[in-house]
């Protein structure tokens, strides 16, 4: 009996030891980088416990504007002090002289420090190059002048650039064959997501020293400078954004109190985004709050009268208009007396300038009687119901898209709408099911300004190695498919200019600006109401300038505003003035 009990106890001990040995093998050999359900990197955590460090650069690729001004970070030359200075004699007076502060301030910053400190935190001191050189020439252990990369508190063009986050499941899904720490930040939206594989965090650059359990130096007071083993990384993404224009655009959007909507500006020659502002703004602590992560410039909205440009192009080509033809612009699209507008009988040119609904409802019905797909065809010719952002094959990426979150516009939801003349009347004035993005609307204006030539929109100009040489340059590319003729484009140019110069024009407040503007306004009914029962509207102005020698195409859109407020033209006017002054 006793013998059996001893055997059972012995077996239990052996099993227990075997379990412990298996667990040790699991920890030491197999799960060192993804231990437990939380995927803890045991090696990294062990190093953290035995070291104190200052990360100078996290190792992820960075975004820059077209002139290589940093967009996602600021490189600040600052002073780093290590806490072991508290336990040694060093020339604090000489350091104080270089940075022009009392030595007591320096010593005070080290009191009770458990790790390295940046002098002056939370607003670290900014050093000159001369100060940096002088500090490092002192060769005091634990005293370093370094250029540290700080994330910007507010990223310009935040929705276009996108946000980062930790997502171990998505990380594994995207990169199943890569051995990457589960804590690696990845792009969740915008260009951060599109270019994630190029930007993936490599080895960080840091100052590091090892400590014992009490925080004392383990191997003396030598501080190591650890940097990338590959001099070509991290890469730099050179966007097409202009930092100065972007900053002003954001300032003006907020000045004009745009809560939902924004502004997008293209360089017509290169078809590149110079500025992109989307509201609501992102709350970096909760990017999904209030839809802040969503880029409203890449989202399809009801365009209203902006869409009349499509009907105008089709009507020109199919000879539905002549100088003599008149339209009754004192009635609604249903033939009832218009209680809001009483323009009387107008020709086509004046109808476009005044944005007469009855004219374009009539033309839309006549066009679809000829061909029920004709409106969709002309929307396609002007790029409104296709992807406008740059796409193509680069390296092993097939059909790489710069703007991965761009929505495609559309005209109809089903065949019933195509065949119904009354619904087509609504379609002709940019209502019913019509949806377009501000990006596509801006590109339509650029296309017309160029005489009908469609191009893809670029947000990124190049990917550069860390040493400044090009890894890949994104060429200017044409949008595939047919486009409007140069004749049709020239006629549309004249009509768009009439919107601003005609006494009936809906954009006449933009006349007499230093840059001559051509464009089209739009006020769309959303068939939704606010909490007070007021109808919500989308207000647009899309256009290009200067008219004689087009340089910029721009869209301003103010969404979910009520009657009598939220006009797009005041912001448009201020941006045109700013760009003119900047160009001088």
Distance separating alpha carbons of residues 283 and 422, to the nearest angstrom: 44
Using alpha carbons, select from 472, 467, 473, 474 the residue that is nearest to residue 234.
467
CA angle 200, 278, 555 (to 5 degrees): 120
Distance separating alpha carbons of residues 450 and 434, to the nearest angstrom: 25
Q: Output helix, strand, coil percentages for the chain, rounded to the nearest 5.
A: 35, 25, 40
Distance separating alpha carbons of residues 70 and 151, to the nearest angstrom: 10
3-state secondary structure of 542: strand
HEC profile of 227-240: CCCCCCCCCEEEEC
* DSSP letter assigned to residue 126: P
Q: Residue 546, preceding bond cis, omega within 30 degrees?
A: yes
97: which 2 tokens? 């002289």
Distance separating alpha carbons of residues 292 and 557, to the nearest angstrom: 16
CA dihedral 203, 204, 209, 214 (to 10 degrees): -100
Catalytic residue among 305, 351, 355, 521: 305
3-state secondary structure of 123: coil
Distance separating alpha carbons of residues 20 and 307, to the nearest angstrom: 71
| Phi, then psi, of 370 in degrees rounded to 5 | -75, -45
| Phi, then psi, of 16 in degrees rounded to 5 | -60, -45
245: which 2 tokens? 């224009």
Does 46 participate in catalysis according to the annotation? no
Whether the CB-CB separation of 25 and 14 falls below 8 Å is answered with no
Residues 6+ apart with CB under 8 A from 448: 309, 382, 484, 489, 492, 493, 496, 544
- Helix H or strand E segment including 562: none
Q: Where does 268-325 show beta strands of DSSP type E?
A: 272-279
Residues 6+ apart with CB under 8 A from 279: 253, 254, 258, 259, 260, 261, 262, 296
191: which 2 tokens? 């260009």
Residues 6+ apart with CB under 8 A from 511: 500, 501, 505, 517
CA dihedral 321, 324, 329, 333 (to 10 degrees): -40
Whether the CB-CB separation of 162 and 190 falls below 8 Å is answered with yes
332: which 2 tokens? 């609604």
Whether the CB-CB separation of 472 and 478 falls below 8 Å is answered with no
CA angle 445, 566, 524 (to 5 degrees): 60
Distance separating alpha carbons of residues 582 and 265, to the nearest angstrom: 15
Catalytic site positions: 305
């Amino acid at each position: 009996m006793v013998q059996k009990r001893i055997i059972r106890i012995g077996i239990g001990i052996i099993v227990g030891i075997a379990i412990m040995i298996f667990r040790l093998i699991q920890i030491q050999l197999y799960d060192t980088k993804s231990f437990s359900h939380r995927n803890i990197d045991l090696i990294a955590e062990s190093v953290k416990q035995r070291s104190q460090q200052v990360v100078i650069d996290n190792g992820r690729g960075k975004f820059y504007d077209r002139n290589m001004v940093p967009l996602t970070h600021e490189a600040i030359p600052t002073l780093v002090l290590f806490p072991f200075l508290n336990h040694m004699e060093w020339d604090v007076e000489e350091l104080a002289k270089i940075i022009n502060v009392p030595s007591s301030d320096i010593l005070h910053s080290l009191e009770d420090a458990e790790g390295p400190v940046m002098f002056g935190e939370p607003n670290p001191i900014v050093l000159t190059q001369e100060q940096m050189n002088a500090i490092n020439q002192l060769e005091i252990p634990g005293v370093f002048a370094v250029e540290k990369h700080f994330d910007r508190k507010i990223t310009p063009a935040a929705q276009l650039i996108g946000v980062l986050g930790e997502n171990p499941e998505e990380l594994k899904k995207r990169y199943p064959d890569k051995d990457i720490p589960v804590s690696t930040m990845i792009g969740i939206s915008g260009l951060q997501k599109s270019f994630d594989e190029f930007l993936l965090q490599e080895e960080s650059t840091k100052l590091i020293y090892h400590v014992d359990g009490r925080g004392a130096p383990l191997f003396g007071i030598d501080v190591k400078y650890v940097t990338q083993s590959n001099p070509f990384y991290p890469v730099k993404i050179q966007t097409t954004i202009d930092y100065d224009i972007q900053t002003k655009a954001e300032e003006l959007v907020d000045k004009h109190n745009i809560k939902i909507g924004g502004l997008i500006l293209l360089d017509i020659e290169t078809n590149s985004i110079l500025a992109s502002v989307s509201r609501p703004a992102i709350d970096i602590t909760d990017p999904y709050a209030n839809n802040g992560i969503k880029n409203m410039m890449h989202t399809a909205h009801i365009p209203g009268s902006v869409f009349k440009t499509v009907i105008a192009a089709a009507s020109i080509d199919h000879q539905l208009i002549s100088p003599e033809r008149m339209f009754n612009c004192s009635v609604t699209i249903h033939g009832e007396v218009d209680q809001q507008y009483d323009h009387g009988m107008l020709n086509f040119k004046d109808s476009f300038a005044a944005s007469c609904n009855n004219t374009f409802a009539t033309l839309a019905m006549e066009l679809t009687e000829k061909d029920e797909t004709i409106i969709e065809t002309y929307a396609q010719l002007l790029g409104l119901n296709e992807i406008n952002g740059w796409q193509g094959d680069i390296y092993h990426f097939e059909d790489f898209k710069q703007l991965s979150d761009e929505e495609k516009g559309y005209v109809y939801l089903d065949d019933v709408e195509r065949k119904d003349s009354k619904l087509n009347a609504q379609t002709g004035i940019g209502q019913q099911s019509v949806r377009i993005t501000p990006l596509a609307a801006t590109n339509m204006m650029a296309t017309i300004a160029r005489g009908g030539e469609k191009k893809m929109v670029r947000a990124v100009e190049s990917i550069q190695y860390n040493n400044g040489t090009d890894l890949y340059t994104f060429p200017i590319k044409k949008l595939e498919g047919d486009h409007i003729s140069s004749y049709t484009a020239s006629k549309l140019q004249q009509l768009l200019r009439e919107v601003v110069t005609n006494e009936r024009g809906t954009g006449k407040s933009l006349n007499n600006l230093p840059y001559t503007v051509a464009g089209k306004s739009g006020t769309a009914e959303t068939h939704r109401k606010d909490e007070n029962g007021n109808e919500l509207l989308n207000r647009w102005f899309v256009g290009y300038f200067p008219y004689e020698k087009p340089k910029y195409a721009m869209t301003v859109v103010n969404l979910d505003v009520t009657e009598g407020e939220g006009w797009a033209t005041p912001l448009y006017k201020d941006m045109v003035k700013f760009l003119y002054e900047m160009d001088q």
